[in-house]
Amino acid sequence: MFYVLLLCLPLLCYSEYILLITKELRLDPLAGYHAVELLQRFMVKYIEDYITTPTPKGATSNHPRHYEDAVYNKLKDKFPLIIFSCVQLASKLSLHSHMIDNNTAVHFLHSVGCTVSKQALLESELMVLKGLKFRLNVLNPLTYVEILLEVLGHNEPSIPLKHLYHYCHHVLQFISLERTAIYETLLMATTECVSPSREQREKFVPVTEDCMLLGVGVIAVAAFILRKWEEVVGELSHITRISKRSITDFAHATLVHIVGISSSITPLS
């Protein structure tokens, strides 16, 4: 499973394209983050199936390090459409976005140089649905952020929730685009090792999948920017039972990349 996750890491760069499509089509940000989750889950399942499918008799078996190239070659022509299908599916599930119908989809894809028919669009959507086994109701990071903010506002009415929410959107977008680098910094801080071993990386995988940690981390960084660190982090730790140290480590790893120079940031306390 760890190798599958490694193969999927390059997909993270497509978060930017999904968020841009979401903005261009004026969809709710929730739809964009939902689409990213759908794409990542679809690709994990696709690669798992590809790896576990028996090699036909007489065919040459691929070495594991060639899987990424093999999957890319098989999907490279379909991949832009797969990305868009994830956005279209997410729009259909969002209560706050208008649904992208096939006419809008075809027109948009043509406008960005991707010639596609409605039939191809339907086939792509069905392929994603089947790959996900029609399980589309997955939580995304923004959902966690919004729920945590709602609880935070109830517990601490003095916190400027509107401004905090505004900054959370920017912070979450930044983390989504710089996810690999931020989690690598967090891994090195956690292990206190510049070159973590494979075993350490395997143990760290659940941290990268922890949406609750990501949610509190986003809010903590926004609170730091608003100079509301102490009030917010203490309450977040109380709400989620995530230690202040873990929240601080995540926030620090993110702020390092926002500022761009690690030496210029004093460790948070």
Give me the pLDDT at residue 139, please: 82
**Minimal CA–CA distance to 251: which of 161, 189, 177, 166?**
189
Q: How many residues does the chain have?
A: 269
Give me the pLDDT at residue 154, please: 92
Where the chain has pLDDT below 50, the residues are 1-11, 65, 262-265, 267
Q: CATH for 2-131, among 3.30.70, 1.10.1060, 1.10.3470, 1.10.472?
A: 1.10.472
Give me the pLDDT at residue 183, please: 94
Give me the pLDDT at residue 111, please: 85
Query: Domain residue spans in the chain?
Result: 2-131, 141-264
Joined tokens for residue 234:
């203490």
Listing DSSP states for 145-206 in one string gives: HHHHHHHHHHH-TTS-HHHHHHHHHHHHHHHHHSHHHHHHHHHHHHHT-SS--HHHHHHHHH
Give me the pLDDT at residue 2, please: 36
Give me the pLDDT at residue 237, please: 94
Give me the pLDDT at residue 217, please: 96
Joined tokens for residue 64:
């594991």
Give me the pLDDT at residue 255, please: 94
